[in-house]
Amino acid sequence: MKNQHVQLDKEGRLRHFITTEGLSRNLLTEILDTAENFSTVGNQQVKKVPLLRGKTIINLFFEPSTRTRTTFELAASRLSADVLNIDVNTSSASKGETLLDMLRNLEAMHSDMFVVRHNQSGAAQFIAEHVAPHISVINAGDGSHAHPTQAMLDMFTIRKHKPDFSALRVAIVGDIMHSRVARSEIHALNILGVPEIRAIGPQTLIPPDAEHLGVHVHHSLESGLKDVDVILMLRLQRERMRGALLPSESEYFARFGLTVEKLALAQTDAIVMHPGPINRGVEIESAVADGPQSVILEQVSNGIAVRMAVMSMVLGRSPQSEESR
């Protein structure tokens, strides 16, 4: 697989992090274990470890995002790296500079890592294929393709509550068709050995080849939630209404919104997750989002530890085995 060549080095270690697809269970588990080590750094008086001191990490965001960028920035800061945020909408793209020219310029600033967010699928991979050999690329979301660090922080959060992936029923609810989060989660859940993954949503928002991804499709929230251990809610992007894929927000909420009554169909100790930002009253009601089974804010804290883990694994490969591309 092409992805494999780009994101792994000759020894099978993570060189870039573009997608969870095709990675080994060992590698995903290594990310989770490493994140476990970093999860205590936030409790220190000095919330910092000197691991990436002297490294320069550039957050290259072609698409606006607050949470993802902030947690990447915090993760890099807690590793003692220097961080530069570049918001490309307001930058040289509008002056007609090509992407490759921009990359050359950023490389000339002796940077070590690009964290890339882009509205086009494949953008992070394209950049990884064209950067200088000493630079690593982390995909912070590309189009509807992948959002691997979000998927891994979700896996980390699941493992904290339900340590045995092989005993889980997991439901993903919402716009799976357009969701890079869902795609990355499905790959990660399959790789980690979750036996039953359900995709729940209206027909127009479930990809036609969903069964090939290794999921069971449900068009009814009631049947889909029965006995599940983990519920992964997705954000409903309001532009989907305009695309005529959905009749209205209120009808969507009536059929697929997670309410206290519907949550009761799942296991009594089921956890509710959401990548944020949440649309209260559209995909989830406040009583659930703020309720005892919600781990939505834990996901945010865990996101920092997981991103620290990925950054340090990618930049911490020993140089004697550095491939020469």
* DSSP per residue, 203-226: GGGS-TTGGGGT-EEES-HHHHHT
Q: Is 157 a catalytic residue?
A: no
Q: Is 67 a catalytic residue?
A: yes
Angle at 319 between CA 315 and CA 321, to 5 degrees: 115
Q: Do residues 180 and 142 make contact, with C-beta atoms less than 8 angstroms apart?
A: yes
Among 238-246, 268-276, 280-288, 314-322, the segment contacting other proteins (CB under 8 A): 314-322
* Nearest to other proteins of 200, 305 (CB atom): 305
Q: Do residues 116 and 139 make contact, with C-beta atoms less than 8 angstroms apart?
A: yes
Q: What is the Cα 258 distance to its own chain's centre?
A: 21
Query: Does residue 163 belong to the site contacting other proteins (CB under 8 A)?
Result: no
Q: What is the nearest approach in angstroms of other proteins to the Cβ of residue 200?
A: 35
Q: How far apart are CA 8 and CA 24, in angstroms?
A: 11
Residue with tokens 């944020």: 276
Question: Quick one: which of 4, 33, 64, 133 contacts other proteins (CB under 8 A)?
Answer: 33
Query: Does residue 324 belong to the site contacting other proteins (CB under 8 A)?
Result: no
Angle at 91 between CA 90 and CA 94, to 5 degrees: 85
Amino acid, res. 240: R
Question: Quick one: which of 248, 268, 319, 324 contacts other proteins (CB under 8 A)?
Answer: 319
Q: Is 34 a catalytic residue?
A: no
Query: Which letter does DSSP use for residue 138 in this model?
Result: E
Q: Is 117 a catalytic residue?
A: yes
Among 43-51, 182-190, 208-216, 246-254, the segment contacting other proteins (CB under 8 A): 43-51
Cβ-based neighbours of 93, under 8 Å, separated by 6 or more: 62, 99, 102
CA torsion 283-286-291-296 (nearest 10°) is: 60
Q: What is the nearest approach in angstroms of other proteins to the Cβ of residue 137?
A: 18
Question: Quick one: which of 6, 49, 74, 99 contacts other proteins (CB under 8 A)?
Answer: 49
Q: In the structure encoding, which two tokens stand for residue 71, read together? A: 């947690």
Among 39-47, 63-71, 254-262, 267-275, the segment contacting other proteins (CB under 8 A): 39-47
Q: In the structure encoding, which two tokens stand for residue 276, read together? A: 């944020």
Element (H, E) at 184: helix 180-191
Query: Does residue 280 belong to the site contacting other proteins (CB under 8 A)?
Result: no
Give, as ranges, the residues between 207 and 226 that touch other proteins (CB under 8 A): none
Query: Does residue 94 belong to the site contacting other proteins (CB under 8 A)?
Result: no
* Nearest to other proteins of 43, 90 (CB atom): 43
Question: Quick one: which of 1, 45, 268, 269 contacts other proteins (CB under 8 A)?
Answer: 45
Question: Quick one: which of 3, 22, 27, 30 contacts other proteins (CB under 8 A)?
Answer: 30
Q: Do residues 18 and 139 make contact, with C-beta atoms less than 8 angstroms apart?
A: yes
* Nearest to other proteins of 90, 318 (CB atom): 318
Question: Quick one: which of 38, 62, 114, 165 contacts other proteins (CB under 8 A)?
Answer: 38
- Give the closest residue to 32 by CA, choosing from 311, 316, 309: 309
Binding footprint of other proteins on the chain (CB under 8 A):
30, 33-34, 36-41, 44-46, 48-51, 309, 312-313, 316-319
- Residues known to be catalytic: 67-68, 95, 117, 147
